[in-house]
Amino acid sequence: MQNLFDLSGKTAIVTGGSRGLGKAIAKGLHEAGVEVVIMGTNNRVLDTANELFENGAPVYGVIADFSNLKSVEKAFESAISKLGTVDILVNNAGMQIRHPAAEFPIEDWEKVLNVNLSAAFVMAQLAGRAMLEARSGKIINIASLLSFSGGLTVPAYAASKGGIAQLTKALANEWAKDGINVNAIAPGYMDTDNIAALKKDEVRNRQLLERIPMGRYGKPEDIVGTVIYLASEASQYVNGTIVTVDGGWMAR
């Protein structure tokens, strides 16, 4: 049974890995014996890599501008130069910008779509080429509850996360036969910087917690087990699915 979840000796790239969910994911993979590259937008990713690499497999930091697809390509090349190959890709990098839909600047729309969707596709495409050659690999995209619902004042984010869900299915349709598993995780309301403003709104905070059957926000660590499962041999026949990790939110 332990062999089903054994990731020792594997290599992984985690985008958006300097804090929040990405940092927890990178830490979990590293503790499972995976050699990890974490990508982030500034020097903090280098500090996080040094923090995580206390013992065991190496952790490397690579700076990438996810709004610039050429930068994404260069960051991937840098990651491969450190790892040699990639067995696991976690597309976690993302951003949020809020405006009423009627007033949403097209520049902000394009930035959110580039960071949340286009950069994820480029990373999956580049990793997919290596995985196709090896005839094995695990791609895990981080979706959202807004992959299923529309939200308010976040049309670009909702569109990008709906796109992530469909991209996950499209890639699985093409690559499943070649030994590549492509799945997504849709986190619920996780206690990270993304919901700081919501927590300060007394009414909204109460409404959210009342909707979550478990009665609490998720912690970054709550997502790690699902990542390990989807990255391991235990999920070999799981493909093209979006797993909710939401404390029961979608059940309501």
Does 237 participate in catalysis according to the annotation? Answer: no
Q: What pLDDT is attached to residue 114?
A: 98
Tokens of 75: 């960051």
The domain segmentation of the chain, as residue ranges, is 2-245
Q: What is the pLDDT of residues 105-146, one digit of tens each?
A: 999 999 999 999 999 999 999 999 999 999 999 999 999 999
Q: What is the pLDDT of residues 64-100, one digit of tens each?
A: 999 999 999 999 999 999 999 999 999 999 999 999 9
Q: What pLDDT is attached to residue 183?
A: 99
Q: How confident is the model at residue 194 (pLDDT cuts 50, 70, 90)?
A: confident
- For residues 24-49, give the mean pLDDT: 96
Give the list of residues 6+ apart from residue 159 with CB closer than 8 angstroms, or none. Answer: 113, 117
Of 157, 189, 217, 229, the active-site residue reads 157
Q: What pLDDT is attached to residue 193?
A: 83
- For residues 239-246, give the mean pLDDT: 98
- Our CA angle for 162, 188, 250, nearest 5°, is 80
Residues 160 and 184: beta-carbon distance below 8 Å: no
Q: What is the mean pLDDT of the chain?
A: 96
Tokens of 158: 């909702």
Q: What pLDDT is attached to residue 195?
A: 83
State how far Cα 207 lies from the chain centre.
26
- Residues 2-245: name the CATH superfamily: NAD(P)-binding Rossmann-like Domain (3.40.50.720)
Q: What pLDDT is attached to residue 54?
A: 78
Q: What is the pTM of this model?
A: 0.96
Q: What pLDDT is attached to residue 196?
A: 83
